[in-house]
């Protein structure tokens, strides 16, 4: 008879694959809806390809209003967290410099 721990592990692995697959399907549906919206607005989908570099300045998200949605291009950015904290980090650095003798 199979060990209960091994059976439980196999079930967890199978459920993980199912969840990852469902997330991928939802992601592809979101991308498809975005392309449909772009076509409806008359923007060619090829013009929306991500560019190298940031279209905004570094620290753009630190001053972004909380009542507005974050721009789509910021979601895939690897520096988004640093961009949000850039203004605060600069303020903390200035405060640290002013307290040093």
Is 70 found in the same domain as 98?
yes
Is 98 found in the same domain as 58?
yes
**Global confidence as pTM:** 0.37
Give 6-36 pLDDT, tens digit per residue.
899 999 999 999 999 999 999 999 888 888 8
CA angle 35, 39, 42 (to 5 degrees): 140
**For residue 67, what are the domain limits?**
52-101
Tokens of 32: 């498809």
Whether residue 39 contacts residue 45, with contact meaning beta carbons closer than 8 Å, is answered with yes
Is 44 found in the same domain as 68?
no
Angstrom distance (rounded) from CA 16 to CA 50:
30
Give 35-91 pLDDT, tens digit per residue.
888 788 776 655 444 445 677 777 777 777 778 877 777 877 777 778 877 765 555
């Amino acid at each position: 008879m199979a060990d209960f721990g091994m059976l439980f592990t196999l079930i967890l692995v199978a459920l993980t694959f199912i969840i990852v697959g469902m997330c991928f399907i939802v992601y592809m549906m979101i991308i498809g809806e975005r392309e449909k919206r772009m076509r409806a607005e008359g923007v060619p989908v090829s013009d929306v390809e991500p560019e190298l570099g940031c279209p905004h300045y570094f620290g753009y998200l630190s001053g972004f209003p909380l009542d507005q949605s974050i721009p789509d291009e910021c979601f895939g950015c690897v520096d988004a967290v640093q961009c949000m904290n850039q203004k605060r980090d600069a303020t903390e650095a200035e405060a640290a410099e002013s307290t040093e003798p």
